[in-house]
Amino acid sequence: MLMREQQNIIIPEQEPLPTDRAVAALRKAIQAYDPSAVNRSPALSIFRQRVLPADPLIWLFRQSVFPRVFWMNREKDCTLAGIGSADWIRHEAEGSNSDSFDLLVRTLSEKDPAVRYIGGFRFNNMERQDETWSAFPSFSFVLPLVLYAEERDGSWLSCHLFVKEGEDSGRKKTVLLQTLEALDLKADAAIPEMPLLKQVSCIPDRKLWVEGCRKALGLFASGEMDKIMLARRTVLEFGSSFSPLLYLIRYPYPRNATFRFCYEPMENHAFISFTPERLYRRDGQMILTEALAGTCLKESMNGNDFHASEILLNSEKDIREHGFVKEAIFRALQPVSSSVEMEQNLRVLQLNRLAHLYTCCKATLKPEYSSDSTVLSVLHPTPAVGGVPKNEAMQHILDLEPFCRGWYAAPVGWISRDSAEFAVGIRSALVSEEFTNLYSGAGLVEGSDPDLEWDEIEQKIGDLMAIARGSHE
């Protein structure tokens, strides 16, 4: 058994083990461990065992401990599947987004730098929340009790024993052992079919959508706005409740260039996102971000990637829309960075139904600004999901959209003291028992056609609708 005293990391066996043997080794190590011997408070002890590769999503689906969380980055070299709560950082009150970001980072500054908290924020914490989002507060991040991770250095099963001042360390140890004992370790799972989809409705409907878009176009004509993203909520009613993880398991395009995110704080209540858009990745002072805006529908060209690229790279409207996003990100990063490197040439990100204009950006933060609260404040919301100018767009979204965005289009991902990765929570679903609310939007600039933007949203939710209908059409 290897123990790293400086971070209290215990590794029972050096060789990768099958999952059942890994759990047995972790249980033995935890049983032999005396948490009261750690003379600091709060105290975090991490038990990690390398495991032979398995399917993290199927592993997560088999477990019945909540919360359940899932994250996969777009490159598919970081997958996190967690259950239970060793520690939870949550904030319920309304207020400014920057206050929420500051509070989370201040709280994390007191945490162990070796662990990652997984969760998300509200899009606009000044927005009055409705009952639909009652399980999803201003922000919520969890350190899983048990975490299955697949990364470049292999697959790991980790347990987190976190004891705050005044807590009974023996009881916390017992809870962790009981969680390991309750794990379902079968290698596969019988995946149920989706229940019958009974009804579909849209908020706003097409008529009101066109009216809202025309109001936005009026803002462009008056010179008040350059760009705004308006969203639509599609309400699905099923014949019965079901596991939200079925959306991820039955996703018909596993190789698609998207981030996958699921936050299920309680059974059958979850926020899910299949987003192509990275908000940023931070490692110390280094930032990787991107502009992703400008969309081409492949349906009319039989899914031909080459033609989609040709259309986007020669579309004045899409290049103009992308330019607003690119320029806004560059300007936002300049005051807080010692260097900002924005790609000059446009690229095209290919998805199964869509293609997007894409530009990568790298920045080095100034030492005094090298915190996630700074990066979140300057980047969220990007013009791709908010608008230009930023503050005016936030207010117009409140005025024009007849629903609460909640966590839709907000930062979702993982964060630690020294690094973080957040995606933009678009192409998303809020699951609540037998109801699913799909959220997607379209970027409007001068010259946008409201009917074409409606069709674009239909394509953006097409993958989720195919799952809901039990087809991959």
From the list 111, 227, 326, 460, the catalytic residue is: 227
Extract the tokens encoding 282: 């931070």
Extract the tokens encoding 210: 């066109």
Which whole-number Å values give the CA distances from 360 to 162, 297, 343, in the listed order?
38, 22, 6
First-residue to last-residue Cα distance in the chain = 51
CA–CA dist 356, 312 (Å, integer): 8
Is residue 277 flagged as an active site residue?
Answer: yes
According to DSSP, the residues that pair with 4 across neighbouring strands are 9
Q: Which positions ≥6 away from 131 have C-beta within 8 Å?
A: none
CA–CA dist 227, 217 (Å, integer): 9
CA–CA dist 46, 161 (Å, integer): 6
Q: Which of 238, 242, 245 is nearest to 261 (CA)?
A: 245
CA–CA dist 443, 319 (Å, integer): 12
- The angle formed by the CA atoms of residues 81, 373 and 426, to the nearest 5 degrees, is 50
Is residue 268 within 8 A of residue 248, CB to CB? The reply is no
CA–CA dist 75, 139 (Å, integer): 26
Is residue 118 within 8 A of residue 104, CB to CB? The reply is no
Is residue 231 within 8 A of residue 431, CB to CB? The reply is no
Is residue 158 within 8 A of residue 149, CB to CB? The reply is yes
Q: Which of 408, 362, 394 is nearest to 120 (CA)?
A: 408
Q: Which positions ≥6 away from 30 have C-beta within 8 Å?
A: 47, 159, 161, 173, 176, 177, 180
From the list 150, 172, 173, 277, the catalytic residue is: 277
Q: Write out the catalytic residue numbers.
A: 227, 277
